[in-house]
Each structure stands twice: as C-alpha cells, then as structure tokens.
A and B are shown apart, each in its own frame.
Chain A
Amino acid sequence: MNWIAFKMLTGNRGKYLGIILGIAFATLLIAQQASIFCGLMLQTSGQIRDIQGAGIWVMDPNVQFSDDIKPLSDSDLYRVRGVPGVSWAVRLYKGLTRSRLEDGNFQQTILLGLDDATLVGAPPNMILGNLFDLRKPDAVIMDLEGYQLLWPGEEPRIGKRFEMNDHEAEIVGICKASRTFQTFPVVYTRYSQALEFVPPERKVLSFVLADAEKGADVNEVCRRIQEQTGLRAVTGEQFEWITIWYFWRNTGIPFNFGITVALGFVVGTAIAAQTFYLFTIENIKQYGALKAMGAGNWSLMAMILLQAMLVSVTGFGLGIGAATWFGTIANAPGSRLAFYMPLEVFVATGLAVIAIGMLSSLLSMQRVMVVEPAVVFQG
C-alpha cells in the first residue's frame, strides 16, 4: 500500500507542494530562530572561549558573568599561586575603554591585557602580523571585525594608529576573534601596557588565569582555590555557562526567541494540518473505495502516516537547508548576525517537525477512520 500512498500524495502536485512548503516554513522559522538564539548566547561567552591555555578562571566571588568585572588586588594573584595543585597563575585585564580615531571619532573598545611574560590568553588565530610584536611599545592586536568597524572599507594593515586614554596605540597584528555580544572591537595588549590605556584605578586585576598541575583534578583545584582564597574559581567551560545563564535569566532574549519558535511551530502546524486535512477530504471517496475493497483502518492509517512522514521529512530537509543557507550568510565575514546551529537544535527541530506531521495526520486519520465505505455508492 505504500506506493499507493506515495502516488496519491504526489499525484496532486499543488497540495503536495503546499504541505511541504508549510512544513519547510515552520522548520525554517524554528531552526533559524533557535540558531540565532544559540548564536547570541554563544557571543556572550565568546571571549572566554578565545582565552586559551588557561584551564581555570579566578575572579571576585560576586562576578556574575564575563563582563561583570569586580577587580581583584595584586596579592590575590600570589595567593592563587600558593594553592597546592596550581601549576601556574597569571594576570588578565579585561575592561572597556574608548578609542579615539584620527578623524576625532570615538568608539568603545574591549581591552584585554595579557600577562607580559607569557602572553597567556593571546588570540589563537592571527591574520596579519606576529603575536610577539605585542612586546613592542604601544603595540596592540585588533580583531578583524573590530578593525572593519573602526575603518570601514579599508584593507586591514598593520601600523595603523589610534588613541586610548590619550595614549597612542599601534596595531601590530590583526586576529580572528569570536564576535562579541556588544559588537565592540577587541584589542589585545600586554597587561602593563593595558594599564596605560585606561584611567588609573586602585585595583585593576580583572581575572587570574591559572592551570592545574599535570594529573590534578581541575575541579578539585578550583575547590581548593575557593577554600583558601575566598575567590571564585571555575573552569573555562563553567564560566561560559555562568555567563550564558546570566543572559538567559536577566534578558528577554530567550523569551522573545521562544515566542518566535513557538509561533513557527503553531503556524507550521496550522498550515500543514489544514492543507493535509483538505488533501484527505478531497480524497475521502478514494479512501472510501479502498475501504469498500477491503483495506482496513490500520492500512489506511499507515498510508496517511507515511504521507505525513514523507512531507515532514521533505519539508524538514528544505527548511533546514534554508536555515543553513541563512546561517552561511550570517556567518560570512563582515556579517554581524549571530547564528549557531548545534546538533541539539537540528534534532529538536526534527522532533518538532515530526510532531507537526503527527498532529497534521491525526485530523486526517480521524476523518478516514469514520468514513463509511458506503460513501462510494453516493453518486
């Protein structure tokens, strides 16, 4: 009976395409909005991921997310170094400063000050220049997207100059960095240099980056740091989730995107269910004829389910393809759109589409179940 179901479905091209487009639209809406949401959430913690080489982040116990800086005292660095199991610990400055360009314009900039000796936390992907040129006076490395934001249309080049806190900075390298939630340029420099680019403060140490000794349990080392210093110590991954959950709890982003995803589900279900139901109603006499000829309710239900699954899979393929295409555009260089489609979004969208297919077919099944085969004798 499967091939009969298939031919019945594809025989009516208009309806067939209508159902598929309904499901594809729902898929696109659900997958795209969920992926934009994931992309935005990922952006909130992008800078934590970009700081590589350090397994442990140490911070003030009241820090709620990566941009919530509550400076530590310099002595905290030595206290962390003294905790058993800590292999090494270095300073990290993180803060916002204003960049002044040649034309007099100002732009907020994220400034990262790396440990002078080790440069732990340096950008992993250099596009132009050499990381070790950071050791030169006034040297900074800027992310490509930040550069394009400050000097739109200009070919990235090293040697470009601008001011921070009335102090001249020279770009010695262009790097690739994760997009930030605030979309500000990211500037890397040495810790000591960073202190010259910001107004003087009593305490300036934002984070202590550390790592556990080889073979030591990182979580156990974090626990020891907390116990002995009273500071908060978490792994990089834990800090990412702390940041993501902060935005989840304290912004309307999840709720707004959740509404759109739910609307996608409802609209998709409505379109697909209505079209599929109309398709079944149009064919009700054919189903009646099949019943009269001895096809049982289970066979007819299997036919409808197969049709629903077929349009669901096809619609899902088209919709997820369109969402991926959108993602490719969103992630193209120069684009400021956020898009990240993890496997979870793919699977969840697939399950939602299966649910749409099932809901759509339920109405039709109910109609076919109750149709009397005697309908075929009504002229």
Chain B
Amino acid sequence: MNGNNATPLVTCRDVVKTYGSGNAEVHALRGVDLDVYPGELTMLVGPSGCGKTTLLSVVAGILRPTAGSVSVLRTDLTHLSSWRRTAFRRDHVGFVFQQFNLLPALTAAENAAVPLVIQGRSRRTALARSKELLDQMGMADRVSSLPGKLSGGQQQRVAIARALIHHPHLLVCDEPTSALDAKTGHTILELLRSIAVEGDRAVMIVTHDSRIFEFADTLARMDDGHIVSVERKNGRDKHEIDNQAIAS
C-alpha cells in the first residue's frame, strides 16, 4: 500500500461508530478501513456529516469505536481504559483545532507550553521549549502576546507549536485552515509540512478546503461513514491529486 513499504502508524479495521440508540441512532462510521503511515500527511475529505471528524476523534483516542479496531503505534486503542487513552493522548498525540482553542488568559508561549505542563514538566522548562519552538515558527516577537492580540494565522501557529511541543507521533488537525484566509491557510499548511511531517510522525488533517489538497501525501475520501477511495502519491512530484473531483 505505502510507497515506502513502512509499517502503518495508524491502522483502522472495520471501525463502526454509532451515536444514540433506537430511533435516534446515528451511524457516523460504517466499517472504516484505513492505514496512516509515518512521515506522511494524510487528509480526510468529504462532505459535511460524512464522519471525518468522528474518524479523527477515534484515531486520536478521544472517542471509543462501537465496533472494529483502531491501533496507533501498535497500541490497540479500542480496549484501553479511559485513563490509559488519556495518558496515550498526552504522550503521543498532538492536536490542532479549527477554532484554535487557545486559553485566552495565557500568553502565546504559555499556551504552547501546555502539553509539557500536562506531562508534568516544570513551567520554566516548558516555557523555554515553547519559546524556542515559536521562534522557529517566526513568532519570536509575539511570545508574550495574549491570543486576543494575535491574528488568526498567528493563533494557528501557536496552536501548531502547542501540538508539536511534546514531539507526538500522531498529529491530528481538524479543519486547520477553515478560519483563515486562503493565503494564511496556504502558509499554515507549508508550515505543517515543513515542521510536522517527519520520519516517525504521521499527520492527519480533516478538511473541506480543496485549496490545500495539494499538500497531502494520501487523500482519503469519505462519504456516509465510509472511506470511498484512498489516493496516494508515490512521491509528490509523480502523482497529481484530482482536486476538482474530490471537491465536487
């Protein structure tokens, strides 16, 4: 499947997720199979309500699937206790949210330091690391700014720094460009590709934004709780992804 014959970092097999019961039952995922490889940027695309975010939540260990299995870093998340899933997220998963979800009372550096603090690092160590990371992202002059004083693009950079500060193996991004203009969105994706996509890390992005499909190594199209197609590029220069087809 993978051009590099690498072992998948994320393996989903026949994943089902159902919300509610009886007449109110909603099938968000109806038997999803997906492999996500390290060193790649995988995009989940599809119409609203097709189950993209649910799949992302299941893979990130936030939601437990109703059926099927989800394995990340060879750990079967399906049978992990709630406490262990929390610990797993803390140690191995980074998050970038659509609305950034920065803590408004914390400065940019403090926000980026939060995952290290959750891991139990001292405030000083965490802040030193977050300032270093924000510096790499061109935010050195805004480390002391509160989120309210930052532009959308700057806030998303802080969110990316926060997601990467603890060196997670899996980075999940939910619509990371939807709150940004086209140019800023493009810049954010370039940043994600250059900083986040590393040899031992997989990046999963849920998006509607067809303008950023070009950054994907793998494009998984979803519809009505199924993955309807998976397109992989064997080297980014060799295989073009049909943006128009997916966007439609």
> Quick check: B99 and A295 within 8 Å, CB to CB?
no
**In the complex, which residues of chain B have a beta carbon less than 8 angstroms from the beta carbon of A285?**
99, 101
Interface contact B91-A1, CB-CB below 8 Å:
no
Q: Is the CB of A376 within 8 A of B97?
A: yes
- Mark interface residues in A231-270 (1 if CB within 8 Å of B CB, else 0): 0000000000000000000000000000000000000000
Q: Let me know if A75 is at the binding interface, CB within 8 A.
A: no
Give chain B residues whose Cβ lies under 8 Å from the Cβ of A379: 98-99, 175, 178
Instruction: Specify which chain A residues have a CB less than 8 angstroms from the CB of B162 in the assembled complex.
Output: 293
B86 within 8 A of A: yes
Within 8 A of B (CB), among A258-304: 285-286, 288-296, 299
Residues in chain A near residue B91, CB distance under 8 A: 294
Q: Contact mask A1-21 → B, CB, 8 Å, 1/0?
A: 101100110111000000000
| A-facing residues in B162-186 (Cβ within 8 Å) | 162, 174-175, 178
The answer to whether B103 touches A286 (Cβ under 8 A) is: yes
- Does B62 sit at the interface, judged by CB under 8 A? yes
> What class of interface size applies to chain A in its complex with B?
20 to 34
Alpha-carbon distance between A290 and B103 when the two chains are bound, in angstroms: 9
The answer to whether B114 touches A4, judged by C-beta atoms less than 8 angstroms apart, is yes
Candidates B63, B105, B118, B175; contact of A374 at CB < 8 Å: B63
Bitwise interface map of B from 58 to 77 toward A, beta carbon under 8 Å scored 1, else 0? 00101100000000000000
Q: Across the two chains, which residue of chain A brings its CB closest to B115?
A: A293
Query: A-facing mask of B103-133, CB < 8 A → 1, else 0?
Result: 1111000100011011100010000000000
Q: A53-91: contact bitstring with B at CB < 8 Å (1 yes, 0 no)? A: 000000000000000000000000000000000000000
**Is B90 an interface residue when CB atoms closer than 8 A count as contact?**
yes
Instruction: Report the separation of the CA atoms of residues A285 and B104 in the bound assembly, to the nearest whole angstrom.
Output: 11
Q: A1-B117, A294-B90, A296-B83 are in contact. Are A11 and B97 (CB under 8 A)?
A: no
For the complex formed, measure the closest distance between the CB of B152 and the CB atoms of chain A, giving whole angstroms. 14
A10, B90: Cβ atoms under 8 Å?
no
A285 vs B102: C-alpha distance when bound (angstroms): 10
Q: Who on chain A is nearest to B56 by CB?
A: A377
B82 to chain A, nearest CB (A): 9
Q: How far is the CA of A71 from the CA of B11 in the complex (A)?
A: 99
Q: Which residues of A contact B60 (CB under 8 A)?
A: 292
- Kindly name the residue among A7, A295, A377, A379 whose own CB sees the greatest number of chain B CB atoms within 10 A: A377
Q: Are A291 and B99 in contact (CB under 8 A)?
A: no
Question: In whole angstroms, how far apart are the Cα atoms of A356 and B197 in the complex?
Answer: 50
Contact A295 B118 (CB under 8 A): yes
- In the complex, which of the residues A7, A299, A374 contacts B62, with contact meaning CB atoms closer than 8 Å? A374
**Which residues on the A side are within 8 Å of B175 (C-beta)?**
379
User: Taking the complex as formed, is A185 at the interface, i.e. its CB lies under 8 A from any CB of chain B?
Assistant: no
Pairwise interchain contact A7-B105, C-beta atoms closer than 8 A: yes
A292/B118 contact (C-beta < 8 A), A285-B101, A373-B62, A374-B57 known: no
Nearest residue (CB) in B for A288 is B101
Interface SS of A by simple majority: helix
Chain A CB within 8 A of B140 CB: no
Nearest CB in chain A: distance from B196 CB, A: 16
- Is there contact, CB below 8 Å, between A10 and B105? yes
Q: Does B42 contact A (CB under 8 A)?
A: no
When distances are taken between beta carbons in the complex, the residues of chain B under 8 Å from A374 are 57, 62-63
A294 pairs with B105, CB closer than 8 A: no
Asked whether any CB of chain A lies closer than 8 Å to the CB of B89, the reply is yes
A1-B118, A3-B123, A289-B97 given as contacts; is B62 within 8 A of A294 (CB)? Answer: no
- Contact present for A4 and B103 (CB under 8 Å): yes
B115-163 contacts to A (CB < 8 Å): 115, 117-119, 123, 162
Q: Does B87 contact A (CB under 8 A)?
A: yes
Q: Kindly state whether residue B53 has any CB partner on chain A within 8 Å.
A: yes
With A and B bound together, what is the CA distance between A17 and B8 in angstroms?
52
Per a CB cutoff under 8 Å, which of B53, B89, B104, B123 touches A377? B53
Residues of B within 8 A of A295 (CB): 86, 90, 118
Q: Report the minimum CB–CB distance from A54 to chain B (whole Å).
A: 64
Interface string of A287-329 (1 = CB under 8 A from B): 0111111111001000000000000000000000000000000
**B95 beta carbon closer than 8 Å to chain A:** yes
Closest A residue to B119 by beta carbon equals A294
Report how far A337 CA is from B126 CA in the complex, Å: 56
Minimum CB–CB distance for B155 against chain A, Å: 13
Q: Known contacts A4-B117, A294-B118: does B174 contact A377 (CB below 8 Å)? A: yes
Task: Decide if A8 touches B90 in the complex (CB within 8 Å).
Answer: no
Given contacts A1-B118, A4-B103, A4-B117, contact A291 B57 (CB under 8 A): no
CA distance A286 to B60 in the complex (A): 18
B63 contacts A293, CB within 8 Å? Answer: no
Asked if A299 and B174 make an inter-chain contact with CB atoms under 8 angstroms apart, the answer reads no
Contacts A377-B174, A379-B175 given; does A293 touch B97 at CB 8 Å? no
Whether B83 lies near A377 (C-beta < 8 A) is: no
Query: How far apart are the CA atoms of A12 and B114 in the complex, in Å?
Result: 19
Q: What B residues does A299 contact at CB under 8 A?
A: 118
Most buried by A among B88, B91, B115: B115
**4 closest residue pairs by CB, A with B:** A11-B105, A294-B90, A289-B101, A294-B89
Enumerate chain A interface residues (CB-CB to B < 8 A): 1, 3-4, 7-8, 10-12, 285-286, 288-296, 299, 372-374, 376-377, 379
Extra inter-chain contacts (9) besides given A286-B103, A294-B88, CB under 8 Å? A1-B118, A8-B103, A11-B106, A294-B91, A295-B118, A296-B86, A299-B118, A373-B89, A377-B56
Q: List 12 A-B contacts (CB under 8 A).
A: A4-B106, A7-B110, A8-B106, A10-B105, A285-B99, A289-B101, A293-B118, A294-B90, A294-B118, A373-B89, A377-B57, A377-B174
Contacts from B to A (Cβ < 8 Å): 53, 56-57, 60, 62-63, 83, 86-91, 93, 95, 97-99, 101, 103-106, 110, 114-115, 117-119, 123, 162, 174-175, 178
